[in-house]
A and B are shown apart, each in its own frame.
Chain A
Amino acid sequence: MPEVNVNGHAYAVHGAVGTTLAEALRDELSLTGTKVACGEGHCGACTVLVDGIPTLSCITLVHAVDGAKVTTIEGLRDHPMVYSFVRADALQCGFCTPGQIISAVALVDSKAAPSTEEIRHAMAGNLCRCGAYPKIEEAIRTWQD
């Protein structure tokens, strides 16, 4: 049975082999902030941090993160990036937003003031079907304001 530390809490996960991290988070731990859109690793909605690295939880087997430290959007409740997304109005439907914020937080953790090119490179794996990209870019550019 894999043990996963999610947002600072240790959990033993019961799912069968083949259960994805996204399914375990949402269905077993009721952490529904992590969204599943494409379910096949293309869109980035399901992005979480695994040991600090943006990872697609919909194609990660929960048994493969045994012992790892997972951060979901619920664990970033008080992160300034959340408020920056609100300030910049960086969403319309909001479904991709948890994944966007996870990727954005990992980016500014590695570089507090990334360039536009660096933002676009690091955020390329988070698709937004509402097309809020300019506002998302603005939120990341101004997160320390």
Chain B
Amino acid sequence: MRDIELRQASSTTDVDGATPIHGGTEVVPLIRAGLLKADTLVDIRGVIPRGIDGARIGAGATLAELECDPQVPAALREACKLAASPQLRNMGSVGGNLLQATRCWYWRLDWPCRLHGGDECFARDGEHREHAIIANDFCASAHPSDVAAALLALDATLRTNRRELPIADLYRLPTEDDRRTTTLESGELILELNVPEPEGSVYLKAMERKRWAFPMVGVAAARSSGVTRVALAGVAPIPWLLQGGLDQATPLPRNAYKLDVAKTLVQRAETALNGG
């Protein structure tokens, strides 16, 4: 492994040119796999807020802390509880969870795919059972964050060291000109989440086994002022806010099953919210 320098961040503006690391559950495996090239790591645990105070959640709070806090809306609590494994939930911060990379095996194996700047999506013509069924034309990777889907349904906003933004604006679909899936700039850190209290919310998740799996399909639904917002994990290259139903889906030959699962879970989530 190449030589790496590690330093402690002295403030939230002290990260320029370095790779921020918090719980390390994403950064360390990516460095060890050679997918993330970092000369300098900056440990930001000392400068990221981590408490939970009503609607305000420090981005440094761990998923383990969120999953059992009664102040946290049900959809977010459940998404945290169903995410990853206990050890990863102990280690990983909610801010870091939002920035995790796809589990697409072509990307993880460093194939020269579109997300890596190449000119082909290998999953589209290859193995794509676990891949995207929506907005999958350019890149069929699926976004793995249960938590992001919950926050999207809950209409959360984020505060970074540079701006405030609705969580929907954190994400962008990769394009020919820009292959990134988030809008976070170099040196920008997520500091805090603001999660308004809904009238009701729920998170349902289909996985290949009962525990410790990335979402096959995750469905979050939250109702506020009588309006229900539904967001999905595992179905598009970014967390997906459902607008106009699932008719826009474009499943690939071997992942059409996901559309059936998604339709069923959306229906169940809406029924659960309506007290059915």
Chain A residues with CB under 8 Å of chain B are: 16-18, 20, 39-42, 44, 47, 53-56, 59-61, 63-64, 103, 120-125
Contact = CB atoms under 8 A, between A and B. Distances in A.
A17 B29 CA distance: 14
Contacts of A44: 85, 87
Given A59-B24, A124-B212, A53 B32 contact: no
- Interface majority SS on B: helix, strand, loop or mixed? mixed
Contacts of B29: 40-41, 59
B45 to A, nearest CB: 8
A42 B212 CA distance: 9
Give the interface centre of B28, B43, B84 by most chain A CB atoms within 10 Å: B28
A125 B43 contact: no
Contacts of B88: 41, 56, 125
A2 to B, nearest CB: 10
Nearest to A39: B32
B25 A59 contact: yes
Contacts of B4: 16-18
Contacts of B32: 18, 39-40, 59
A60 B86 contact: no
Given A17-B6, A18-B1, A60 B31 contact: no
Contact of A125 (B21, B28, B86): B86
B90 A55 contact: yes
A124 B24 contact: no
B86 A124 contact: yes
A142 B3 CA distance: 48
Give the interface centre of A16, A20, A39, A124 by most chain B CB atoms within 10 Å: A124
B43 A64 contact: yes
A131 to B, nearest CB: 13
Contacts of A18: 1, 4, 31-32
B85 A124 contact: yes
A27 B5 CA distance: 21
B57 interface: no
B212 A20 contact: no
A122 B24 CA distance: 21
A55 B5 CA distance: 23
Contacts of A121: 81, 86, 211
Contacts of A103: 86-87
B91 interface: yes
Contacts of A54: 86-87, 90
